[in-house]
Chains A and B, each alone.
Chain A
Amino acid sequence: MGRRMDPSRKRAIRLTVALTAALLLASALIYTSFAAGRDELTASQLLKRGRAGATYILAGTVLDNSVRREGQFLYFRVRDPKLHVSVPVRYTGEIPDPFAQGRPVLVDVQKGGPTGWIGQTNSLTTKCPSKYQAASGSY
């Protein structure tokens, strides 16, 4: 028969194990968050930092009167919400129902051609204007 462990020592061991597990989980979580996170760039940031070949998340608002459909392509401009700067995007793939001019969007883009940006297929995310719209209808 083995000697029973002192209860306070047992508690201390359990606490140490639990805290170690929590610490490991927290460290892994922080690391993964930074590793998995991708910068969202506005139109002005994209124009400054964008390089050919790299993929960026473009965030902004769809410029009014810029939406045009030609065949399978959707053309629109994404505006910097704070500055009067916008970039043209040519997009193919799934168009979320909420997509419309004036609405905030996120789209993965790559530089294509001298001035334009090519949206990655099925990467367009549009905020749903489902609730709590401002009285003016702006966001």
Chain B
Amino acid sequence: MAVVGRTLLVLAMITAVYGAIASIYGARSGRREFVDSARRAMYALAAMAVIAFVILDVAFITSDFSYNVVASGSSTTTPTLYRAAAIWATQQGSLLLWVMLLSCWSSLALFLTRRRVREVVPYAQAVLFGMAFFFAGLTTLFANPFDTTSTPPSEGAGLDPLLRHTTMMVHPPMLYSGYTLMLVPFAFGVGALISGRLNAEWIQVTRRFALAAWLCLGVGILLGARWSYTELGWGGYWAWDPVENAALMPWLAVTAFIHSVMIQEKRGMLKVWNVSLILTSGTLAIIGTFLVRSGILSSIHAFVSDPTLNISFVALICVMVIGSLYLVILRHQSLRSDAQLDSLFSREAVFLFQNLVLIALAAVVFWVTFFPLISEAITGTQVSVGPPAFRPFVVPLALIVVLLSGIGPIIAWRRVTLAKLRRSFAVPVTVAVAVLIALRFVSGVGQHLAAYLMFGFGAFVLTSVVQEFFRGVRARRAMTSASVPRALVGLIARNRRRYGGYIVHAGVAVALIGVAASTSFQHQRTATLKPGQSVRTDGYTFKYVRATASATAEKISFGAVLAVTKGGRPVTTLRTSYGLYPSLDPMHPIGRFFNSGSTESQVGLHSGALRDLWVVISPNIAPLNNEIDKGDVVLGRAIIAAQRLPAAQQAGQLNTIYALRDIAIREIAQHFVNHPWSSQFLIEVSPLVMWLWIGAIVAALGGLVALWPVPPRARVRLRVAAPSAAPADALTMGPAPEERERELV
């Protein structure tokens, strides 16, 4: 099947070249049949990529070690689900996943636009084919997953233990989906610039893809944060690591885009800004992919540095940046706004300001992430920059974003009167002030100004969102006499984009309250304890009750059970363990677990609405060294002796030795349980962490609501009902319910 896979990749490259040429020829000559043919070529390319991906994944699942990539990234002892996911843990497999996702999303976009924006589509199609050619080319020429060996090993290296986490199934595909989806609006933006069709139509047809990219990237970031939180050494849920930042930068840019397109749709403003934003988002998606693969920056996620890939990516990024700049400059006359900003106290002004802050955030993240390289170029020495370089900028900018996300939904378009301002802001401001005053009496909160303000701003956002829902439901009930739940569901269903957005705002506010609390008020402690001993942190007593151990062919695990009490009352029991995975060293049958294999910590976690209790063990296994060394010497000699025997006797003898080895390993593990020596624990008590996850899930659900398509019947009904333009006076206030419905179209 490897031959089939290789052939499909070559065919995918050829198809991409054909598709790009046919698209451009069709556009230039006016022969629509070539454009249609190219679109079908994209469907074919997607089919090829899917089949190639399935062939490779079957090889992973069946542990076909004749594939080099399977031998280096999986093993028979790797659980089946992880074997299926191991495909994207390899450079080759992940590039194939990129090609597959890109071609699938491109096919979907081209299918949905087959009868729309006809001048733009051919060029967008050509750009998408160009991207597909680039990644299919990398996969075929430099990182071919279908390379095989005629002498396959009997066992593979296995998936790294750190990746054996349920999140591994979803986190990488979500991020890749986000990156690849981001290229759809990018391609249509380029198409609009080339064709000169720069009205809002290209935005309307690709807006959903930008939202989908935002959602996928956001969910990917969230899953990565959760994974990091439960993995020792990945710096908690956020470490400002270059690989994390790689996903954050395009997410921030596309967040800005999702907001600013509304201004172009409503007022015909910010055309240059919008097209620049989407070009920036697409370029940042490729820069993010490059960062993840290049190894050019020190990251706690390690990636091999491949000069060929690096040069290819740098070339692509240069083409994207220079091409984007050229096209924007070329079309700057056509990108003039249809209207001007009437007042700084208007929704469009708030959106614009919020856009600037989001882009400033992205710029800060970009600069500090790449600063080690910039510094090396200037001073000749690479420097380390960590969270201290980010915080002075990110924290105030995040505060402003949160505040504006509360103001945006309740301020009117164009301009606002004092009476309307009072009506919209009275309740949210009162609640926010009340929260801030109440928090002054909570010990210590006022000392952390940023967290204190975040709580107040969060309350403001939540109240403004609740107020909008309340007013919407009330208006809907007045029109339909429906019950409150029905009116609420009807309100959201008929205006998914608007109310989905509000849910996102509420979710983000809740999540950032969780971030502010857990970073500002976290208690962390390292303690060395013997069984029976205890340590106090933030009022909680952690008692090391007993040691635990287990030994299997896959790993040896040493752990501990800790009883947590507060004021003498039991709170929870935490179990943490430290797993040691063997290397492939045959001469150290026992030591291969301890000296050169991989390790993985299982965090003991108790999550609560108010705080998380988090503990991890670093077992002291030094007292076992003598037993390990002795076992290695005795069993190592026995293995050498067995290997000299005739083949017929060798297998039986080796099986006996391996059985003895397994007994010895179990004995050593048991020794740890009965030991009297101490182990080290890292203990954290972090408030409100759960609200970070809850807020993020709410935001993701809001994104789904906004993304969910309107039924065709409702769309037709609304098109008929809505006039071509809203009356000016309707725009000076918050939109009336019937006007809100128009936003659906």
Range of interface residues on B (Cβ < 8 Å):
35 or more
A20 to B392, CA, bound (A): 19
Interface string of B358-394 (1 = CB under 8 A from A): 0010001001100110010000011111101100110
| Contact flags B294-323 to A (C-beta < 8 A → 1, else 0) | 010011111110000000000000000000
Judged by a CB distance under 8 angstroms, whether B162 is at the interface is yes
Expressed in whole angstroms, the minimum distance between the Cβ of B716 and any Cβ of chain A is: 41
- The one of B72, B233, B298 that contacts A40, using a Cβ cutoff of 8 Å: B298
A36-B389, A96-B233, A127-B300 as given contacts; A121 in contact with B162, CB under 8 Å: no
Contact mask for chain A residues 2-35; partner B; CB cutoff 8 A; 1 contact, 0 none: 0000010001000000100010010011101110
Q: Within the assembled complex, what's the spacing in Å between the Cα atoms of A33 and B360?
A: 15
How many A-B pairs with Cβ below 8 Å?
155
Q: How far is the CA of A37 from the CA of B383 in the complex (A)?
A: 6
Q: Find residues 533-586 in chain B having any chain A CB closer than 8 Å to their own CB.
A: none
- CB-nearest residue of chain A relative to B68? A135
Q: B37 contacts the other chain (Cβ, under 8 Å)?
A: no
B383:A130 contact, CB within 8 angstroms: no
Q: Is A69 close to B, CB under 8 A?
A: yes
Tell me whether B447 is interfacial, beta carbon within 8 Å: no
Q: Which residue in A25, A39, A94 is a CB contact (below 8 Å) of B682?
A: A94
Shortest Cβ distance from A57 into B: residue: B384
> Are A33 and B302 in contact (CB-based, < 8 A)?
no
B625 contacts which chain A residues (CB < 8 A)?
A: 69
Of the candidates A39, A59, A67, the one having the most CB atoms from chain B within 10 angstroms of its own CB is A39
Contact of B300 among A28, A95, A125 (CB under 8 A): A125
A127's partner among B299, B364, B595, B621 (CB-CB below 8 A) is B299
* B38 smallest CB distance to A (angstroms): 32
Which residues of A from 110 to 139 have beta carbons under 8 Å from B? 121-122, 125-135, 137, 139
Q: Does A104 contact B (CB under 8 A)?
A: yes
B596 within 8 A of partner (CB): yes
- Stretch in B10-18, B86-94, B425-433, B605-613 with 4+ CB within 8 Å of A: B86-94
**Mask for B239-269, Cβ within 8 A of A = 1, else 0?**
0000000000000000000000000000000
Query: Contacts A25-B393, A34-B375, A36-B389: A99 and B160 contacting too (C-beta < 8 A)?
Result: no
Interface string of B390-426 (1 = CB under 8 A from A): 0011000000000000000000000000000000000
Q: Which among B292, B295, B393, B526 is the interface contact of A28 at CB below 8 angstroms?
A: B393
Pairs A–B under 8 Å by Cβ, sample size 9: A25-B364, A25-B393, A29-B393, A33-B371, A36-B386, A39-B384, A97-B233, A98-B599, A128-B233
Question: Is B64 part of the contact surface with A, judged by Cβ < 8 Å?
Answer: no
Q: What is the 8 Å Cβ interface bit string for chain B, positions 510-540, against chain A (1 contact, 0 not)?
A: 0000000000000000101000000000000
Contacts of B304 in A (CB 8 A): 132-134, 139
Do residues A94 and B526 form an inter-chain contact, with CB atoms below 8 A?
yes
Q: Are B72 and A135 in contact (CB under 8 A)?
A: yes
Q: Are B163 and A40 in contact (CB-based, < 8 A)?
A: no
Residues in chain B near residue A79, CB distance under 8 A: none
Once A33-B385, A70-B622 are accepted as A-B contacts, the answer to whether A100 and B340 lie under 8 Å apart by CB is no
Say whether B139 faces chain A, with CB atoms less than 8 Å apart.
no
How many A residues face the partner with a CB closer than 8 A?
A: 50
Beyond the given pairs A94-B618, A126-B300, 19 more chain A to chain B contacts, judged by CB atoms under 8 angstroms and listed by A's residue number, are: A25-B364, A28-B393, A69-B625, A71-B622, A93-B526, A94-B232, A96-B300, A98-B599, A99-B599, A100-B599, A125-B233, A127-B298, A128-B160, A128-B233, A128-B300, A128-B302, A131-B292, A131-B301, A139-B302
> Chain B's nearest CB lies how many Å from the CB of A85?
17
Proximity string of chain A (49-62) to chain B, C-beta cutoff 8 Å, 1 when within and 0 when not: 00000000101000
Could you say which of B367, B600, B621 contacts A69, with CB atoms under 8 Å apart? B621
Contact partners of B166 in chain A: CB under 8 A: none
**Other-chain contact of A130, B163, B596, B622 (Cβ < 8 Å):** B163
B233 pairs with A99, CB closer than 8 A: yes
Contact A40 B382 (CB under 8 A): yes
Q: What separation, in Å, do the CA atoms of A106 and B595 have in the docked complex? A: 20
Q: Which residues of B contact A93 (CB under 8 A)?
A: 526
**Residue contact A127 to B162, C-beta cutoff 8 Å:** no
Residue B234, interface by CB 8 Å: yes
